[in-house]
Amino acid sequence: MKFMLHGLIITRKFGLNMKWNSIKKRVSYYLQYFPFTLNAFILGVALWLCFQWLKPGSATAEDDATASFVPVILLIGKITLWFVTGLISFSVLSTFVCWIHFLFLSGKGYKLDIEFQPAKKGMGLWMQTLLQKARRPFLGFIKARLFYDDFKITDKFTLASNQRIKHRFWRQGVSGKSKMQLPDIKEYKLQGGFVFFEDMLQLFSLPVKQDLKSHFHNAPESITLKDNPAIPRKTEDTDTRIEQLRRVDGEYLNYKDFESGDDVRRVVWKVYAKNRELMVRVPEIFDPYASHIYCYASFHKTNDFAENDFTAEMLNYYKTRIWTVYETLSRKEFEVRFVPDQELHLPEQTNKDLFVQKLISNSHWQESRSLADYFELKYGSVLCISSMNSIEEIKEVLEQCNNEVVVYYVKLSNTFRTIAPLTWLKRVFILPPNDRLKRIRSRWILTPMRWKLVKKEKEIENILNKLDLTVVTL
């Protein structure tokens, strides 16, 4: 009864936190419609103080030496104040005009065009944006921000470049290029966005809602990995020759034409019924050809570890290593086929590597398909496992593998490997954390999950050391 009550309290707290987070996201979304910024209130107070100081009768001369200069100083102050006020007012007025102009364009179907491009170095995406026929305010700015995955919000990015039509003087619109940092390696759902028109001092931020619906994914980056030998274990075609003869049990290559002296009991009657050709089965042959390298990567997670920020970062770390393994194997002479361990509904791509990258990006920790049910011993040449896999299943599967299988073991505790005192020193004196990994790295040192994971990794390493397999620890 006590444990049930404790579980009920935890569930209720979790539900309240989820509800509170949802409310905060909704509030931050609707605050985008509020046109005033903090700068407007600060400037309003500053202008009021200046007018109070410069209004007639506010200056008092305390001695004759400085009294003659007071009117001149006040006159210069008034001229400066009115000039600055007029400049700001003109910028604000042009902001409203450009905002109304784009509202008119939005009614005609003009909206923010976005093209996502993967970053070559580091995680994140480059956003190439274009706002056709929009006009930038006088000394002002045009900015935008996006909402994705249940109203998560991006930082504002600026559209500052003039986009001109070739061989024409008039501008096509304004464009910009900025990098968007994303927390996880996965596919994101774009739900919408806003375009903001701001004056020179960013006193007003006038929004225009954008109906944007699409998907984009944060791809894993590649790291340096030593190349390890991996060869196919099943022959499906005869395009690539190998130096070493291999046993094959492929369906097509196990048949041959019937010859005198062949055992009639090995005649394939199904083939005869279809083609009227006598074919006999070859029980076992040696073939000098190779086909594909089948690469398996298990995302199975035991129920010993709950889903939290730590497992989310470990998933990013694991995806990066798997993509690196696949990319390294792709440089070989054999074609590499990646076999996912979960059902993912993705449209086919003409670029096979890009399709595999999306498969890896959209994979997640799962508890339904175990390693033993997933890995095909007859076909698999490369197997990627992690610290989240079951120790018993790792031992069961790998004991049945021969020395032709290359095993990549991803040690997930390395996700948070760093010098802890240096991390704390940076947080206090140098730079605040700018991503989730840096925020949780110091907490990882003290969490009970760390001790449980390290203990499990030692047991897995003991098993791998006893097996006659090529094992690469990442």
Instruction: Summarize pLDDT for 22-74 with one digit per residue, the tens.
Output: 777 778 888 888 888 888 888 888 878 877 776 655 555 455 555 566 677 77
Q: For residue 287, what is the enclosing H or E element?
A: strand 285-290
Query: Could you tell me the pLDDT band of residue 81, with boundaries at 50, 70 and 90?
Result: confident
Query: Could you tell me the pLDDT band of residue 98, with boundaries at 50, 70 and 90?
Result: very high
Residue-wise pLDDT for 178-234, tens only, equals 888 888 888 888 888 899 999 988 888 999 998 888 888 888 888 877 766 666 665
Cβ(157)–Cβ(127) below 8 Å: yes
pLDDT higher than threshold 50 for residue 360: yes
CA distance 450 to 452: 5
What value does the mean pLDDT of the chain take? 78
Please give the model's pTM, rounded to 2 decimal places: 0.73
Predicted confidence at residue 14, as pLDDT, reads 42
Query: Could you tell me the pLDDT band of residue 255, with boundaries at 50, 70 and 90?
Result: low
Query: Could you tell me the pLDDT band of residue 1, with boundaries at 50, 70 and 90?
Result: very low
Cβ(233)–Cβ(380) below 8 Å: yes
Structure tokens at 53: 């100081």
Long-range contacts of 47-51 (CB under 8 A, 24+ apart): 47/81, 47/85, 50/77, 50/81, 51/81
Interacting residues of 94 by C-beta distance below 8 A, sequence separation 6+: 137, 138, 140, 199
- If one counts every other C-beta atom within 10 angstroms of the C-beta of residue 22, the result is 12
Q: For residue 2, what is the enclosing H or E element?
A: helix 2-30
Mean pLDDT of all residues in 415-426: 60
What is the b/e burial string over 141-175, where b = at least 16 CB atoms within 10 angstroms of the residue's CB? bbbbbbbbeebbbbeebbbeeebeeeeeeebbbbb
CATH 2.60.40 domain span(s) along the chain: 107-217
pLDDT greater at residue 233 or residue 154: 154
pLDDT greater at residue 187 or residue 249: 187
Structure tokens at 199: 């004056």
pLDDT greater at residue 382 or residue 29: 382
- The proportion of the chain whose per-residue pLDDT surpasses 90, expressed as a percent, equals 23
pLDDT higher than threshold 90 for residue 385: yes
Question: Residue 410: helix, strand or coil by DSSP?
Answer: strand
Q: Which CATH class is domain 107-217?
A: mainly beta
Cβ(143)–Cβ(157) below 8 Å: yes
